[in-house]
Amino acid sequence: MACSIYFNRHQREWVAEALEKAEALVGGYFRLDVADPDRFPYDLRTLATLRGHEKTRRAFAQVCKYEIRREAEDSHPRSREFYRICLQDDKILNAIQAEPPQILKPLLLYVLTHEIIHVTRFSLDPGRFYLDPREKGVEEKYVHRKTYEILASFGDPSVEPLLERYRPWWGGSGPAAQGPGLDNPGTRV
C-alpha cells in the first residue's frame, strides 16, 4: 500500500500538539523556558518545506545548525546560532505503515522531545553540535535516556510501548521489542 510522503493537515496539527507538549515537558524537566526564542532559537519544518541538506534517509528527524548574521547599530556584524528541527514525514509515515494508526501521535512526541533536548543542549553548549563520531554516539545515548526519563514521568500510556522500543538505544535493560521500521529517531548535520 502506497502512502503519502507528506503529513496531511490532521497530522500537521498533531505535529504542532506534540511540539507544544515536548517543549513543556523538556522545559519542566530541565527547568528552562525552551520556548524562549532568544535563549533557544529554533524552528521546526516538515518535509514539504525542507531544503536539500535538511533531508535525510538516516532518521525520522535531524537538527541543522545555521548562523544568522546581522549588522548591529555600531556597524559591527553580529552572528547568532539558530537550529532547525527537520522532520522527515516520508520516513515516519513509511515506518508506521505496518503499525496501528494511533502510534503516530506518541511517535511524534518521542521524536520531538528527543530533538528539543538536542536543541537545548546545543544552545547551552554550542560545541556539542560538533562532536566526533564516538562522542556523538555517547550524546545520542544520553539524549535517548533523557527522552525516556521525561516521557516515562509524563505517564501517558500511549507512549509506553515506544519507550520500550527505544530502550536499547540508550542501553537500558528490559525488552528490546523493536517494531518494524521504528529505528533511530534523530541525528544532526
Q: Is the pTM of this model over 0.85?
A: yes
Total domains in the fold of the chain: 1
- Residue range 123-164, pLDDT digits in tens: 999 999 999 999 999 999 999 999 999 999 998 999 998 898
Cβ neighbours of residue 137 closer than 8 Å, sequence gap 6 or more: none
Q: Would residue 123 count as lying in a domain?
A: yes
Q: Is residue 95 part of a domain?
A: yes
Position 44 in a domain: no
Query: Is 132 part of a structural domain of the chain?
Result: yes
58 is a domain residue: no
Contacts of 35 (CB under 8 A, 6+ apart): 23, 27
Structural domain boundaries, residue 107: 9-39+90-184
Task: Note whether residue 147 is domain-resident.
Answer: yes
| Among the ranges given (48-57, 78-87, 136-145, 161-170), the one the predictor scored with the smallest mean pLDDT | 161-170
Give the span between the Cα atoms of 151 and 157, in whole angstroms: 10
Give a yes or no: residue 124 inside a domain: yes
* DSSP one-letter string for 173-188: -S---PPTT----EEE
Each residue of 106-120: b (16+ CB within 10 Å) or e?
A: bbbbbbbbbbbbbbb
Give 5-25 pLDDT, tens digit per residue: 999 999 999 999 999 999 999
Assigned domain for 60 exists: no
